[in-house]
C-alpha cells in the first residue's frame, strides 16, 4: 500500500506558522513600471509642456509624450525626469533602456522627487539598470519613505525585516509597515497583520492581526485573503467557519495564488467547507501543481495512485510524485519508489525503485530503508 503522505487538516493550528512565515511573496520587489502622473509644481511654461505630455500619454501617443517630457527633463524639471525614466523603463515612445531610466530617476531623485527616489532605490535593490547595491538601495528608499512615499515606507519595512542594507530590526519594520498600511498599501497592511499574528516587532494580538488582514483582503490582496481563510478555519479571533474560510481562500485561488489553490484542492478532496468533489479537487491541485506547489503535486499524486476520489491513473501519479521527488521531497521519493516496486500498470522497475528508495533513505526516511533491506534479501539489488 502507498503511504498516505498528506492528511490535510484545514483546522490544524500549526498551519498558522506556515502562513505567517511565507513572506517571499510580500517582501520581493516586482519591477513593474506603471506610468504615474504626479502633480506638476513648475512655472507656467513648464506646466503647459507637462499638460501636453499628459494629453499625449492619455492618447497613447508615447512618442509625443516622450518628446515633451524630454524637453522638460533636460530643463531640470524633476517630475518630467521621473516620467521620462518611466518611458525608458517601459519602452514607450523610445526603445527600452533601463540604464537610461536609472539615469533620469537619479536626476529626479536628486531634485527631490520622492517617487524617483523610491524607483531608484528599488533598481539598486534588484540590480535593474544598475549594479545591485543594497546599501545604496536602502539609502534612496529611506529618503523616499521619510518624505512620505507610501510604497517606499512599505519597502523600507521589508528591508528591516530581511536585514537588507540595514541591520535587521523587527520593530522598525513594523513601524514602517504601519505608516504605509495607514494610507492603504495592501502588502503593508498584510505585513502589519502578520506582525501582530506572530508577535514580531509588536505585542502579539490576534484581533489586530484579523483587522489588518481583512483590510488587505478587502483590497484583493491574495496572501491576505488566504490567511484570513486560515483564521476562519482555525477560529483565530473569530468563530470557526469553514464556509467563510473557503470563500476567502477561493478569492485568493482565483487570482492564481498557488497555496490557496492547493488548499482548495484539499478542501474538495475532504469536503471541508464545500461538498466533496474529487474532480474539483484535481482541478485546483493541477493549477497549483503546475506552478510548482509541492503540496498540490503530492495530493494530486496520491489521489491518482489511490483511485478513490478520482479514477486511478498510476502513470500520472508517477509524473507528479517525480516532480516533487526531483525537488528533494522525501515522501514523494518514497512513494515513487513504492510505485515502481509494485509496478506501474503491472510493469515493475526495480532499478528505478531502488534509486528512489536510496534517495529517500539517505535523507532519513525509515520506511525507504526497510524497502532497500527487503530488496537486498530478495536479491533485487
Q: Is the pLDDT of residue 36 over 90?
A: no
Is residue 172 included in any domain, yes or no? yes
Task: Tally the domains of the chain.
Answer: 1
- Whether 127 is covered by a domain: the verdict is yes
Q: Rounded to whole angstroms, what are the CA distances from 313 to 285, 295, 316, 364?
A: 15, 19, 6, 29
Closest-CA residue to 348 (of 323, 326, 325, 378): 378
Residue 4 in domain:
no
User: Residue 64's domain spans which residues?
Assistant: 15-291
Q: What is the mean pLDDT of the chain?
A: 89
Domain membership flag for residue 340: no
Question: What letter would DSSP give residue 344?
Answer: B
Indicate the length of the chain as a whole number.
381
Backbone angles phi, psi at 218, to 5 degrees: -65, -20
Residue among 231, 252, 251, 253 at smallest CA distance from 242:
231
Kindly give the residue spans of alpha helices, DSSP state H, lying in 78-185.
78-90, 98-110, 114-126, 134-146, 150-162, 170-182
For 271-287, what is each residue's pLDDT tens digit? 999 999 999 999 999 99
Is the model more confident about 3 or about 71? 71
Which pLDDT does position 373 carry in this prediction? Answer: 96
pLDDT band at 53 (very low <50, low <70, confident <90, very high): confident
Among candidates 103, 111, 71, which has minimal Cα distance to 86?
103
Predicted confidence at residue 14, as pLDDT, reads: 34
Cell of residue 119, nine digits:
524607483
Confidence of residue 381 (pLDDT cuts 50, 70, 90): confident
The grid coordinates of residue 346 equal: 503491472
Q: Is the CB of residue 217 less than 8 Å from the CB of residue 224?
A: yes
Q: Residue 4's pLDDT is what?
A: 26
Query: Which CATH number goes with the domain that contains 52?
Result: 1.25.40.10
Q: Please measure the distance between the N-terminal and C-terminal CA atoms of the chain and give it in whole angstroms.
A: 21
pLDDT of residue 57: 87
Distance CA 287, CA 283 (A): 6
In this structure, is residue 351 part of a structural domain? no
Average pLDDT over residues 227-254: 98
Asked if residue 88 is part of any domain, the answer here is yes
Closest CA to 281 of 309, 254, 307: 309
Cα 190 from Cα 211, distance rounded (Å): 10
pLDDT tens-digit readout, 355-370: 999 999 999 999 999 9
Tell me what pLDDT residue 47 has: 57
Is 140 inside any structural domain?
yes
- Per mean pLDDT, which range of 142-146, 172-176, 227-231, 346-350 is the poorest? 346-350
Please check whether residue 311 lies inside any domain of the structure: no
Which three three-digit cell numbers place residue 30?
A: 516586482
Our CA dihedral for 125, 127, 129, 130, rounded to 10 degrees, sits at: 80
Amino acid at each position: 500500500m502507498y503511504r498516505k503522505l498528506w492528511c490535510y487538516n484545514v483546522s490544524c493550528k500549526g498551519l498558522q506558522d506556515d502562513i505567517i512565515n511565507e513572506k517571499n511573496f510580500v517582501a520581493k520587489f516586482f519591477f513593474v513600471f506603471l506610468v504615474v502622473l504626479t502633480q506638476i509644481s513648475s512655472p507656467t511654461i513648464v506646466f503647459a509642456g507637462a499638460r501636453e505630455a499628459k494629453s499625449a500619454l492619455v492618447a497613447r501617443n508615447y512618442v509625443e509624450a516622450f518628446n515633451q517630457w524630454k524637453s522638460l527633463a533636460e530643463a531640470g524639471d524633476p517630475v518630467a525626469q521621473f516620467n521620462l525614466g518611466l518611458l525608458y523603463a517601459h519602452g514607450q515612445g523610445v526603445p527600452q533602456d533601463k540604464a537610461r531610466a536609472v539615469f533620469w530617476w537619479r536626476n529626479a531623485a536628486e531634485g527631490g522627487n520622492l517617487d524617483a527616489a523610491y524607483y531608484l532605490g528599488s533598481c539598486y535593490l534588484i540590480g535593474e539598470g544598475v549594479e545591485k547595491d543594497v546599501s545604496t538601495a536602502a539609502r534612496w528608499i529611506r529618503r523616499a519613505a521619510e518624505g512620505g512615499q507610501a510604497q517606499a515606507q512599505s519597502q523600507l519595512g521589508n528591508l528591516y525585516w530581511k536585514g537588507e542594507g540595514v541591520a535587521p530590526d523587527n520593530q522598525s519594520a513594523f513601524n514602517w509597515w504601519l505608516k504605509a498600511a495607514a494610507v492603504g498599501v495592501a502588502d503593508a497592511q498584510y505585513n502589519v497583520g502578520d506582525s501582530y499574528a506572530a508577535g514580531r516587532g509588536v505585542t502579539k494580538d490576534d484581533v489586530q492581526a484579523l483587522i489588518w488582514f481583512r483590510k488587505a483582503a478587502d483590497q484583493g490582496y491574495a496572501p491576505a485573503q488566504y490567511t484570513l481563510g486560515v483564521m476562519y478555519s482555525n477560529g483565530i479571533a473569530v468563530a470557526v467557519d469553514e464556509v467563510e474560510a473557503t470563500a476567502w481562500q477561493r478569492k485568493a485561488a482565483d487570482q492564481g495564488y498557488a497555496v490557496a489553490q492547493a488548499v482548495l484542492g484539499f478542501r474538495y478532496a475532504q469536503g471541508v467547507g464545500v461538498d466533496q468533489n474529487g474532480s474539483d479537487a484535481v482541478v485546483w491541485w493541477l493549477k497549483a501543481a503546475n506552478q510548482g506547489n509541492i503540496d498540490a503535486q503530492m495530493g494530486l499524486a496520491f489521489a491518482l495512485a489511490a483511485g478513490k476520489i478520482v479514477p486511478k491513473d498510476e502513470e500520472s501519479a508517477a509524473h507528479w510524485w517525480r516532480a516533487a521527488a526531483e525537488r528533494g521531497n522525501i515522501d514523494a521519493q518514497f512513494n515513487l519508489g513504492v510505485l515502481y516496486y509494485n509496478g506501474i500498470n503491472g510493469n515493475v522497475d526495480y532499478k528505478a525503485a531502488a534509486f528512489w528508495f536510496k534517495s529517500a533513505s539517505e535523507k532519513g526516511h525509515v520506511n525507504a530503508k526497510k524497502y532497500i533491506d527487503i530488496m537486498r534479501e530478495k536479491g533485487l539489488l
